[in-house]
């Protein structure tokens, strides 16, 4: 095969996928960026170039900052815990524990249930007085609390739902990776008298690093993409305590109809995701050895 | 499974096993709680949706009410068509692209790969407004292909398959070529069969994602003929009337049942193929 | 800006393509967005109306499209208006009027309704419903499915508390006094039953507007470019709401979820609740006890905002389509149909003569609670609606939730909300 024909073949194979990506990812992303420098057209008034005006609006918008901070807390709350739980679940299910098929099935169910419906069920769990959480805590003598209706607990409640939804999904990846670790490593470690914890920390965890990188990228994206349950459970309230960046974007774009400003928020969101992705890549690449 | 079973020295035994099993079971219980609640509430009258007494009467009325509230049969069909369409296109497009990335040397390959990876971060979910405009210009609004199109070229799929194809030994490739197979035939005869577990694993992830996807289908569809199940489900999300958990739960069970059953029946094969896929 | 021109151009082409086949068949097609999720009893009623109308008007095809919630419907209608073919007519929130005008998406009915009796028809609706349908001397919306807030009370719990089960609170003081008697606590001081509940999630401004109206103050002007969030009477109204939970402790603390409030009522966790008349059918079906429906208690006066949806006609349509849409709207809002619609759905029939129809009279006789909303209409005011409506109401919502959760004092919260609203509305001040 000549170099030229290899090039042609290669590009031909790529063409369908790249064409669709260009149409539905690259073009709209660039268009959004351009739009962020134009004002929102309103009726007869067309869209005009306004430079950085939309970005200045953003700097002055307190809800934007609240949402940004909430998103960061949401990410910090969901990502480490759901990954840690996923690893724990994978380790458990990997061992020959009692009823492991059922347990594995249980961990995976949230992935299958649609968020739009499940969020309503969680709403019941959090309902004051007769909600499940209250019924359980009430028997333990804990005073009643309005979980979703208090700014101090609402975001945590939303985080718990997100962890519940995602951990089982990540578990599958870890489970697959654990099964690939050669059994002789465990035997060797045992011969040297390493404890279970040492074995995990020194052998299993480093070998799981590529999976962790992969899961981490997914978790970060997920943290900035999850919005269904916020729409159903709190609509960003109380007083923006659960307003995440994508939810704010949805409101600005589809309730306020401020497309110029929405484009600016999208641009910032994309910049954050890009920074995180590159950061993860360069930071972790040094610590991960791909085979 | 692979090879004779070895004894894992770190396998918990005795008390440790009991403790670990109990911990795992407790977490599992917590994890299925919403599903258990859905089962309880769907099969009991509305006044028992917040009271868990063993003598509560059983009923199927919630299901008939949920069934009557929306043309779920049609939505089932739509969701099924949607998922099939997405999956079929993803398999074809991602396979071709992954093959190019894994086995072809050509100028601009790294750049092209980066351009693909961009979609891992810039999910179609964020670009709803622009994509709606595009669909309008293409004249495909309110159709199942319109729901599918932005997702068909999947960076995730390309990435996974590329990793897998790279592990295929060159010798197999060369051997097939010596026998006179052309590039596509090699792909079909050598690479695709070896990557079967990856296809199964990726397929399930994709199916569960698109079976559950909500925001984009909601915006891009208008009619019963194109709406998927999730959009049908929103009939029950809170409106003027407040939340009716009984019907929500019945509808949730009805709409998730196919996936739950499929997972229940095939979970062995599924988990194993995931393991063999070596996704990392 | 070539790209935008291109979009407009293609939209026009697309619009042309949609219209063409309809003209070819000599039929006028009227796509009609209706805010309900597909399926369910309401779609059957609407489908029935469309079919009946077509039978009487063979030249017109009304095509109902069920677009989801109000929010989703306006998202669809406006997205389509910007980059495709919008509906010819749609039912949308009455408060969306300024948004639709600012987007140049709709035409006033005064320009369409020039036939005999059209002016009288516009005047035939309750004035309370027209407040949100008119601005700048023009009528932009026609009331269709409208509601108000009413008080539901549990007669059994009233009896248990030693109150007259047939006598709901008539004013603010009575409301607090009765709610105090109706609040029950267990040994450790946790409330097991609240006296009353006013939901505050999602759109607290709507319920708050009842408090402010009762306190004799308006929240905005008719031009929709000024709000009065920081007036002392507004702050006092908020103080009353906050005090219900903080001072009197007869109302749950924090934010009360709208969606679970009816369930709280059915579960006897609250003895009284404020919610929409649209819940009447639901409560009637699910309350396992004797309940009553009353006008909201009076402060300085009685008061409630109206709510719900109006018919609008979109600009991007042919004259024939607009004419056909007007015909359909006149047909569907006739007294008989307005009455039947109210009976079937629990919405308030929008015109006085609808309440004089035999069907409605029989219905009210059997279920007097249905007439409470009508009797409250003389005290009703327009729902909060301004330019940049969603943003301006969100400024108020955030302030209300901050005060209700104790993050800010009512005074501070309303000051902040007013400052934010004034900033948003600055470009609209002439």
Q: What are the pLDDT digits (tens) for B102-120?
A: 988 888 888 898 888 888 7
pLDDT band at B61 (very low <50, low <70, confident <90, very high): confident
- Residue C138's DSSP bridge partners are C135
A227's tokens: 């919005």
pLDDT band at C40 (very low <50, low <70, confident <90, very high): low
- CATH number where B154 lies: 1.10.3720.10
Whether residue C179 sits in one domain with residue C44: no
Residue predicted with more confidence, B17 or C313: C313
Write the residue in B12, B25, B214 that is nearest to A228 by C-beta.
B214
What distances in angstroms separate CA C262 from CA A121, B245, C127, C279, one per listed residue?
Answer: 16, 12, 29, 8
Mean pLDDT value of segment A158-171: 91
User: Tens of pLDDT along B172-224?
Assistant: 888 888 888 888 888 988 899 888 878 887 887 788 788 888 878 887 887 78
Residue-range domains of chain A with CATH: 61-285 (1.10.3720.10)
User: Tens of pLDDT along C119-141?
Assistant: 889 899 998 899 889 888 899 99
Q: Mean pLDDT highest for which of B184-198, C31-45, C243-257? A: C243-257
Other C-beta atoms lying within 10 Å of the C-beta of residue B101: 25
| CB–CB contact A217 B120 (8 Å) | yes
Answer whether A139 touches C (CB < 8 Å): no
Distance CA A159, CA A242 (A): 10
Other C-beta atoms lying within 10 Å of the C-beta of residue B175: 13
Q: Give the residue among C249, C299, C307 at the shortest CA–CA distance from C132.
A: C307
Mean pLDDT value of segment C163-192: 91
Whether residue C143 sits in one domain with residue C224: no
Whether residue C6 sits in one domain with residue C65: yes
Q: What pLDDT sits at residue A286?
A: 60
| CB–CB contact B50 C10 (8 Å) | no
CB-neighbour burial class of residue C61 (10 A; exposed 0-12, middle 13-18, buried 19+): middle
Contact assessment for residue A141 and residue A87, using Cβ atoms and an 8 Å cutoff: no
CB-neighbour burial class of residue A253 (10 A; exposed 0-12, middle 13-18, buried 19+): buried
Residue predicted with more confidence, C69 or C108: C108
Distance from CA of B214 to the nearest CA of C (A): 12
Residues of C in Cβ contact (< 8 Å) with A129: 191-192, 252, 264, 267, 269
Residues of C in Cβ contact (< 8 Å) with B227: 38
DSSP three-state, residue B140:
coil
Q: Is residue B20 part of a domain?
A: yes
Nearest CA in chain A to C257: A149
DSSP three-state, residue A215:
helix
Distance CA A167, CA C33 (A): 40
Nearest CA in chain A to C81: A43
Distance CA B143, CA B64 (A): 28
Q: What pLDDT sits at residue A289?
A: 46
- CATH number where C128 lies: 3.40.190.10
At B226, give phi and psi (nearest 5°).
-120, -10
Whether residue B89 sits in one domain with residue B105: yes
Mean pLDDT value of segment A157-183: 87
Q: Give the residue among C93, C104, C25, C16 at the shortest CA–CA distance from C61.
A: C25
Q: Mean pLDDT highest for which of A172-186, B191-205, C317-331? A: C317-331
Give chain C's mean pLDDT. 87
Distance CA B117, CA B95 (A): 15
Residue predicted with more confidence, C108 or A216: C108
Mean pLDDT value of segment A182-210: 84
Whether residue B42 sits in one domain with residue B113: no
Write the residue in A42, A143, A144 that is nearest to C103 by C-beta.
A42
Distance from CA of B198 to the nearest CA of A (A): 11
Q: Give the residue among C192, C190, C189, C194 at the shortest CA–CA distance from C178.
A: C194
Widest CA span of chain A, in angstroms? 80
At A20, give phi and psi (nearest 5°).
-65, -40
Could you say which of B45, B64, B83 is where a domain stops?
B64
- Residue C305's DSSP bridge partners are C381
pLDDT band at A129 (very low <50, low <70, confident <90, very high): confident
Q: Give the residue among A176, A87, A175, A200 at the shortest CA–CA distance from B10.
A: A200
Q: What pLDDT sits at residue B144?
A: 93
Q: Mean pLDDT highest for which of C122-131, C207-216, C363-372? A: C207-216
User: Tens of pLDDT along B39-52?
Assistant: 998 898 887 877 78
Size of interface A-C (CB pairs under 8 A): 99
Query: Residue C231 is part of which domain span?
Result: 149-306+387-428
Torsional class of B44: left (φ above 0), alpha (ψ -120 to 50), beta (otherwise): beta
Q: Is residue B118 part of a domain?
A: yes
Whether residue C197 sits in one domain with residue C72: no
Pure H helices in chain B:
14-42, 61-69, 72-103, 109-121, 128-138, 144-152, 155-166, 170-178, 183-186, 192-194, 196-212, 215-220, 229-233, 245-277
- Residue C115, CB half-sphere, CA atoms under 13 Å: how many? 8
Whether residue C315 sits in one domain with residue C222: no
Contact assessment for residue C286 and residue B243, using Cβ atoms and an 8 Å cutoff: no
| CB–CB contact A143 C401 (8 Å) | no
Number of structural domains chain C divides into: 2
Q: pLDDT above 90 covers what percent of chain C?
A: 54
Write the residue in C253, C263, C398 that is nearest to A146 by C-beta.
C253
| CB–CB contact B232 C38 (8 Å) | yes
Q: Give the residue among C70, C83, C79 at the shortest CA–CA distance from C36.
A: C70
Q: Give the residue among A118, A160, A131 at the shortest CA–CA distance from B253.
A: A118
Instruction: State the best of A17, A258, A262, A288 to mutate against chain B, taking most chain B CBs within 10 Å.
Output: A17
Write the residue in B121, B134, B236 that is nearest to A24 by C-beta.
B134
Does the pLDDT of residue C21 top 50, yes or no?
no
Whether residue C398 sits in one domain with residue C287: yes
Q: Give the residue among B78, B74, B49 at the shortest CA–CA distance from B61.
A: B49
Whether residue B243 sits in one domain with residue B194: yes
- Residue holding tokens 């369910």? C40
Whether residue B241 sits in one domain with residue B155: yes
Q: What pLDDT sits at residue B99?
A: 93
A245's tokens: 């960046």
pLDDT band at A238 (very low <50, low <70, confident <90, very high): confident
Distance CA C373, CA C379 (A): 10
Mean pLDDT value of segment C136-157: 92
Reported in sequence order, the residue ranges of A185-252 that DSSP labels E, i.e. its strands, are none
Does the pLDDT of residue A46 top 90, yes or no?
no
Does the pLDDT of residue B129 top 80, yes or no?
no
Q: What pLDDT sits at residue C23?
A: 43
Does the pLDDT of residue B6 top 70, yes or no?
no
Does the pLDDT of residue B141 top 60, yes or no?
yes
Contact assessment for residue B207 and residue B83, using Cβ atoms and an 8 Å cutoff: yes
Does the pLDDT of residue C302 top 50, yes or no?
yes
pLDDT band at C173 (very low <50, low <70, confident <90, very high): very high
pLDDT band at B280 (very low <50, low <70, confident <90, very high): very low
b/e sequence A50-68, b meaning 16+ C-beta within 10 Å:
beebbbebbeebebbebbb
| CB–CB contact A151 C407 (8 Å) | yes
- Return all residues near C69 (Cβ < 8 A) that are at least 6 apart: B234, B237, B239, C35, C37
Distance CA C61, CA C55 (A): 10
Could you say which of B64, B94, B123 is where a domain stops?
B64
Whether residue B215 sits in one domain with residue B108: yes
- What are C46-49's contacts with CB under 8 Å, separation 24+? C49/C332, C49/C337
Residues of B in Cβ contact (< 8 Å) with A7: 104, 106-107
Write the residue in A41, A148, A256 that is nearest to C388 by C-beta.
A256
State the Rg of chain B over Cα: 23
Answer whether A153 touches C (CB < 8 Å): no
- Beta-strand relationship, C134-135 and C380-381: unpaired
Whether residue C411 sits in one domain with residue C262: yes
Q: What pLDDT sits at residue C37?
A: 61
Residues of B in Cβ contact (< 8 Å) with C268: none
- Residue holding tokens 């006598």? C167
Whether residue B239 sits in one domain with residue B131: yes
Whether residue B54 sits in one domain with residue B90: no
pLDDT band at A79 (very low <50, low <70, confident <90, very high): very high
Does the pLDDT of residue C259 top 60, yes or no?
yes
Residue predicted with more confidence, A184 or B93: B93
State the Rg of chain A over Cα: 24
Whether residue C375 sits in one domain with residue C397: no
What distances in angstroms separate CA B241 from CA C196, C203, C263, C280, one per listed residue?
Answer: 18, 14, 10, 9
Q: What pLDDT sits at residue C11?
A: 34
Whether residue C421 sits in one domain with residue C352: no
Query: Residue B37 is part of which domain span?
Result: 14-64
CB-neighbour burial class of residue A265 (10 A; exposed 0-12, middle 13-18, buried 19+): buried
| CB–CB contact A237 C252 (8 Å) | no
pLDDT band at B130 (very low <50, low <70, confident <90, very high): confident
| CB–CB contact B242 C14 (8 Å) | no
pLDDT band at C182 (very low <50, low <70, confident <90, very high): very high
Whether residue B167 sits in one domain with residue B102: yes
Q: Is residue B134 part of a domain?
A: yes
Answer whether A255 touches C (CB < 8 Å): yes
User: Tens of pLDDT along C396-424?
Assistant: 999 999 999 999 999 999 999 999 999 88
To which H or E segment does residue C381 belong? strand C380-381
Nearest CA in chain C to B220: C76
Whether residue C224 sits in one domain with residue C122: no
Q: Which is it for the CA torsion B159, B161, B167, B170, positive or negative?
A: negative
Whether residue C373 sits in one domain with residue C239: no
Q: What pLDDT sits at residue A274?
A: 80
Q: What pLDDT sits at residue B239?
A: 60
- What are C64-67's contacts with CB under 8 Å, separation 24+? C64/C32, C64/C34, C65/B222, C65/B223, C65/C31, C65/C32, C65/C33, C65/C34, C66/C34, C66/C36, C66/C37, C66/C38, C66/C39, C67/B222, C67/C33, C67/C34, C67/C35
State the Rg of chain C over Cα: 23
Whether residue B149 sits in one domain with residue B126: yes
- Return all residues near C229 (Cβ < 8 A) that are at least 6 apart: C219, C395, C396, C399, C414, C417, C418, C421
Contact assessment for residue B239 and residue B69, using Cβ atoms and an 8 Å cutoff: no
Number of structural domains chain B divides into: 2
Q: What pLDDT sits at residue C7?
A: 32
- Return all residues near C371 (Cβ < 8 A) that are at least 6 apart: C355, C364
Q: Is residue B3 part of a domain?
A: no
Does the pLDDT of residue A119 top 90, yes or no?
no
Residues of C in Cβ contact (< 8 Å) with A151: 405, 407
Distance CA B278, CA C300 (A): 72
Write the residue in C102, C190, C264 that is nearest to A42 by C-beta.
C102
Does the pLDDT of residue C16 top 60, yes or no?
no
Does the pLDDT of residue C163 top 50, yes or no?
yes
Q: Mean pLDDT highest for which of A171-180, B20-29, B126-135, C292-301? A: C292-301
Could you say which of C342, C365, C381 is where a domain stops?
C381
Answer whether A218 touches C (CB < 8 Å): no
Would you tell me the crossing angle of helices A53-60 and A259-285 to the nearest 10 degrees? 80
Whether residue C196 sits in one domain with residue C297: yes
């Amino acid at each position: 095969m000549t170099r030229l024909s290899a090039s042609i073949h290669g590009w031909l194979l790529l063409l369908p996928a790249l064409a669709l990506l260009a149409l539905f990812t690259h073009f709209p992303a660039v268009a959004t960026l351009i739009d962020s420098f134009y004002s929102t057209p309103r009726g007869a008034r067309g869209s005009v170039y306004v430079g950085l005006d939309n970005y200045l609006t953003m700097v002055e918008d307190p809800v934007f900052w609240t949402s940004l901070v909430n998103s960061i807390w949401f990410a910090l709350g969901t990502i480490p815990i759901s990954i840690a739980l996923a690893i724990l679940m994978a380790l458990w299910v990997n061992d020959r524990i009692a009823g492991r098929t059922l347990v594995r099935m249980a961990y995976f169910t949230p992935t299958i249930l649609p968020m739009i419906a499940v969020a309503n069920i969680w709403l019941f769990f959090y309902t004051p007085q007769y909600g499940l959480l209250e019924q359980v805590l009430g028997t333990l003598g804990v005073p009643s609390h309005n979980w979703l209706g208090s700014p101090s607990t609402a975001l945590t409640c939303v985080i718990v739902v997100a962890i519940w939804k995602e951990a089982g999904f990540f578990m599958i990846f870890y489970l697959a990776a654990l099964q690939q670790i050669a059994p002789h490593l465990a035997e060797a470690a045992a011969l040297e008298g390493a404890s279970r914890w040492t074995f995990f920390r020194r052998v299993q965890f480093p070998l799981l690093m590529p999976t962790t990188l992969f899961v981490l990228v997914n978790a970060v994206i997920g943290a900035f993409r999850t919005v269904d349950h916020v729409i159903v459970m709190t609509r960003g309230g109380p007083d923006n305590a659960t307003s995440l960046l994508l939810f704010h974007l949805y409101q600005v774009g589809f309730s306020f109809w401020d497309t110029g400003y929405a484009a600016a928020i999208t641009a910032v969101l994309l910049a954050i995701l890009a920074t995180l992705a590159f950061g993860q890549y360069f930071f972790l690449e040094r610590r991960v050895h791909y085979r | 499974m692979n090879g004779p079973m070895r004894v894992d020295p770190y396998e918990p035994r005795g008390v440790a096993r009991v403790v670990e099993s109990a911990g795992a079971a407790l977490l599992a219980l917590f994890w299925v709680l919403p599903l258990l609640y859905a089962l309880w509430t769907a099969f009991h009258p509305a006044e028992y949706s917040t009271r868990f007494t063993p003598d509560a009467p059983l009923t199927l009325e919630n299901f008939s009410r949920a069934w009557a509230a929306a043309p779920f049969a049609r939505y089932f069909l739509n969701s099924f068509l949607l998922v099939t369409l997405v999956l079929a296109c993803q398999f074809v497009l991602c396979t071709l692209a992954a093959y190019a990335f894994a086995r072809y040397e050509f100028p601009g390959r790294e750049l092209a790969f980066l351009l693909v990876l961009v979609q891992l971060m810039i999910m179609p979910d964020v670009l709803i407004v622009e994509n709606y405009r595009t669909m309008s210009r293409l004249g495909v609004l309110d159709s199942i292909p319109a729901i599918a199109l932005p997702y068909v070229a999947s960076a995730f799929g390309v990435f996974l398959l590329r990793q897998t194809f790279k592990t295929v030994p060159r010798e197999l490739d060369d051997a097939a070529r010596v026998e006179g197979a052309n590039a596509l035939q090699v792909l079909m005869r050598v690479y695709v069969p070896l990557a079967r577990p990856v296809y199964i694993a990726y397929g399930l992830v994709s199916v569960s994602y698109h079976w559950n996807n909500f925001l984009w289908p909601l915006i891009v569809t208008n009619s019963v003929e194109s709406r998927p199940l999730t959009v049908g489900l929103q009939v029950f999300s809170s409106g003027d009337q407040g939340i009716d958990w009984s019907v929500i739960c019945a509808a949730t069970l009805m709409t998730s049942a196919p996936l739950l059953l499929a997972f229940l029946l095939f979970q062995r094969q599924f988990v194993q193929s995931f393991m063999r896929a070596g996704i990392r | 800006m070539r790209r935008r021109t291109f979009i407009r151009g293609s939209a026009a082409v697309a619009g042309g393509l949609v219209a063409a086949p309809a003209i070819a068949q000599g039929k006028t097609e009227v796509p009609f967005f209706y805010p309900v999720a597909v399926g369910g009893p309401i779609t059957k009623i609407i489908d029935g109306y469309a079919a009946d109308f077509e039978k009487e008007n063979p030249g017109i095809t009304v095509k109902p499209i069920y677009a989801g919630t109000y929010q989703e419907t306006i998202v669809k209608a406006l997205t389509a208006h910007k980059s495709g073919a919008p509906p010819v007519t749609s039912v949308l929130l009455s408060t969306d009027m300024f948004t639709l005008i600012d987007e140049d998406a709709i035409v006033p009915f005064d320009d369409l309704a020039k036939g005999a009796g059209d002016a009288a028809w516009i005047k035939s609706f309750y004035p309370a419903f027209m407040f949100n349908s008119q601005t700048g001397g023009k009528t932009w919306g026609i009331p269709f499915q409208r509601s108000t807030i009413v008080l539901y009370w549990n007669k059994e719990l009233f009896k248990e508390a030693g109150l007259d089960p047939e006598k709901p609170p008539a004013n603010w003081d009575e409301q607090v006094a009765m709610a105090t008697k109706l609040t029950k606590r267990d040994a450790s001081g946790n409330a097991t039953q609240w006296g009353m509940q006013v939901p505050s999630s999602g759109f607290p401004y709507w319920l708050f507007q009842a408090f402010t109206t009762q306190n004799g103050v308006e929240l905005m002007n008719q031009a929709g470019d000024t709000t009065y969030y920081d007036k002392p009477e507004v702050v006092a109204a908020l103080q009353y709401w906050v005090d219900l939970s903080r001072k009197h402790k007869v109302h749950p603390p924090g934010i009360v979820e709208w969606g679970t409030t009816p369930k709280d009522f059915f579960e006897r966790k609250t003895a009284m609740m404020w919610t929409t008349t649209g819940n009447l059918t639901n409560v009637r079906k699910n309350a396992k006890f004797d309940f009553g429906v009353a006008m909201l208690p009076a402060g300085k006066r009685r008061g409630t905002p109206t709510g719900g949806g109006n018919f609008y006609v979109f600009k991007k349509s042919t004259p024939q389509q607009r004419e056909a849409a007007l015909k359909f709207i006149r047909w569907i809002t006739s007294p008989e149909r307005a009455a039947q619609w109210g009976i079937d759905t629990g919405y308030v029939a929008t015109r006085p003569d609808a309440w004089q129809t035999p069907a409605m009279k029989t219905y009210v006789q059997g279920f007097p609670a249905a007439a409470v909303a009508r009797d409250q209409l003389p005290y009703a005011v327009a729902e909060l609606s301004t330019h940049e409506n969603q943003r301006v109401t969100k400024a108020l919502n955030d302030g209300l939730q901050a005060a209700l959760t104790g993050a800010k004092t009512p005074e501070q919260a309303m000051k902040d909300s007013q400052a934010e609203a004034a900033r948003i509305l600055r470009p609209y001040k002439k």
